[in-house]
Amino acid sequence: MEKRKIGSLDVSVVGLGCNNFGWRTGQEATKAVIDAAIDAGINFFDTADMYGTGESEEFMGRAIGARRKKLVLATKFGFSMGEGKTGASPSYVRAAAEASLKRLKTDVIDLLYIHTPDPTTPIADTLDALNGLVKEGKVREIGCSNFSADQLREAKVATKSGAARFVCVQNEYSMINRTPELEVLPECSRQGISFVPYFPLASGLLSGKYRKGRPLPENSRGKDAWGPTVFTDKILDLVEDLIQFSEKRGVTLLELAVSWLACQPTVASVIAGAKTPEQVKANAAAGGWKLTKAELQEVDSIMMQAV
């Protein structure tokens, strides 16, 4: 599989989002998904301490075992782990990193993100703490998640000369939600920062399982309060148009969603969650298709008609 750079790290263009591990996926199923991901050429695994209240990291640590050195592990801190402690103060940064190292059964985190901005802590203080972890060899690279372009600029100004800097930002981005294109992606280009999109399938809308005029799948999120605000006729019409575009080329909507993101400037890896080996294999295969310039223009035209 193609590899791209996040700072000094070489990551697969399709990564594995590990948010299902722990609370949706048990230990044995976690190992099966990780095994399938590695077999498919995925080396980039993205989790967070809050996923499964720590169990995602724990399950990953057990499942990866001796294969650790072949993989790039990313995790995040900042949201509550259930005990009420949150944020990015220097003391919390260190405590969270040490806890993640223990749960992941590793001596170094390849990429450590601040999961969300902390308005109570100056970003300079957070960066100092993260730089300390890098100097100690406990973290290789640092990144941020859910940051705006203004916050990225603030972090750049606050980074001391020679110190570790944010090399990656992870925000929501998909064919349905293109908000990062307005400010964040251009700022990434200016600063030389990689971008990692989360929710690449728009919470399942781009998976191909939701079709206009057809019943929603069992256990679908569309059957709860989230559904009526998302599964509008306008959105479902767009999905149908994108499915037609994909089928003409002998690919699935999922393959289109992943490959389209991989074609966008500054995107390093498209991380998609998976609960089964079959799902992770499909995600990995999607990274093999490269849209032509003409195809990208046609997709843009389809999406513009839906605005």
One-letter amino acid at 231 equals: F
* Euclidean distance between CA atoms 114 and 236, whole angstroms: 34
Task: Enter the tokens of residue 123.
Answer: 């970003």
**Maximum alpha-carbon separation in the chain:** 57
Task: Enter the tokens of residue 179.
Answer: 């908000």
Parallel/antiparallel/unpaired status of strands 9-12 and 3-6: antiparallel
Query: Any idea what the Cα angle at residue 196 is, between residues 78 and 287, rounded to 5°?
Result: 140
* Euclidean distance between CA atoms 233 and 215, whole angstroms: 14
* Euclidean distance between CA atoms 74 and 171, whole angstroms: 14
Task: Enter the tokens of residue 20.
Answer: 């299902």
Active site residues per annotation: 51
For 298-303, which contacts have Cβ atoms below 8 Å and span 24 or more sequence positions? 298/245, 299/175, 299/242, 299/245, 299/256, 299/260, 302/238, 302/241, 302/242, 302/245, 303/175, 303/178, 303/238
Closest by CA to 205, choosing from 224, 181, 221, is 221
* 58 Cβ contact partners less than 8 Å away, ≥ 6 residues apart: 22, 52, 103
Query: Rounded to the nearest 5°, which phi and psi values hold at 141?
Result: -135, 155
Task: Enter the tokens of residue 7.
Answer: 């700072």
